Chain A
Amino acid sequence: MHILVTDDSKLARTFIKRELKACFETEKLEILEASSGKQAINLLLENEQVELLFLDLTMPEMDGYQVLEALQPMNLDVKKIVVSADIQNLAKQRVMELGAVGFIEKPIPEGSLRSTLIELGVLS
């Protein structure tokens, strides 16, 4: 499975990658990383095989909301999961309206990444 993890924090990307490796165990994972919204969009366009996008909201220059807005007309076949410290209910509502299919709060509670992937049918 090809996954793109986008966060301006290296530490946050490390936490997500670690959780992903624990979730998928034996399945071969190809994890790409982006440290900005712009880089994420470029990587998605260059790598059509990416199926899952993990996206932070609060990032410099191009934030997660802007990434979701930019992706809307592109109709890429990628599931977008927001992983954010911005835990306002209105933020969750807004990202879902912009095409995200999941929202995971930071710091990532134990088991929540796995349960989100199961809900989305990515993991069984």
Chain B
Amino acid sequence: MNAQVQLNQEEMDAFKEVINIGMGKAGAALSEILEGFVSLKVPEVQLLELDNLIHVLEKSVADFSSINMSKQSFVDQIRGEILFIFAPIAYERLGKILGFENLQDLTANRKSELILEISNSLSSACLFGLSNQLGLSVALKPPNMVCLEEAPDKIKAKVFGGKKPSWDHTLLIKIEFSMSDIQFNCEILVFVAEDSILPLKNALNTLLED
């Protein structure tokens, strides 16, 4: 593996702390949107080969009978993809909190709209928190749905069957948000592209030198 894409222990510690701050901002945004307490877990970071992503994804969806998934790209000084994996959602409860009307008649479009709105709020808070600390610019593209209420075994093809990323390695960040009072669980997988790891390392080292 190219040494330039590997993070040493100190860089990894710093990166986790930077992610932790981004996650905290996303958690606060979610807490405000959904009017409740959001439980945050320690974020996980690992460098892995793209071929192993499928195993990570399988593990993330293994416990669910059906899932909802959205996807969003980010570009600029660091680039990559974000996957949002939502456990089965109590749509009526969420819709009511978000002020949606005609809750008994929630169409697939309305459900998708809800998921995309939450996805975008989480990614904005999280990535901009991260980019602010590291002094790296990042721009988010609009999120789109991967699947709505589908069995986990069908989603693999949808995520990886389309345009496969050009990188061999990725820095994977795993973040989890949960709200027990409204049965809300969301896992975010951020895949940082291989060619963004070096600028990221440089930014982390600047932070460590300060």
Contacts and interface: CB of A to CB of B under 8 A. Distances in A.
Nearest to B41: A58
Interface in A53-107: 57-60, 84-91, 94, 106-107
- Chain B interface size band reads 20 to 34
Interface stretch (A3-11, A20-28, A41-49, A115-123): A3-11
Given A58-B42, A88-B38, A91-B37, A10 B31 contact: no
Given A10-B10, A58-B42, A59-B42, A87 B16 contact: no
B49 to A, nearest CB: 25
B13 interface: yes
Interface in B12-30: 13-14, 16-17, 20-21, 23-25, 27-28
Contacts of A32: none
Given A10-B10, A59-B42, A60-B42, A89 B17 contact: no
A86 B40 contact: yes
Contact of A106 (B13, B21, B42): B21
A18 B133 CA distance: 18
B135 interface: no
A56 to B, nearest CB: 9
Given A85-B25, A89-B28, 12 more contacts: A10-B10, A11-B10, A59-B42, A85-B20, A85-B21, A85-B23, A86-B27, A88-B27, A88-B37, A88-B38, A90-B37, A107-B133
Interface of B: 10, 13-14, 16-17, 20-21, 23-25, 27-28, 31, 36-38, 40-42, 133, 207-208
7 contacts: A11-B14, A11-B208, A58-B24, A85-B21, A88-B38, A90-B37, A106-B21
Interface of A: 8-12, 57-60, 84-91, 94, 106-107
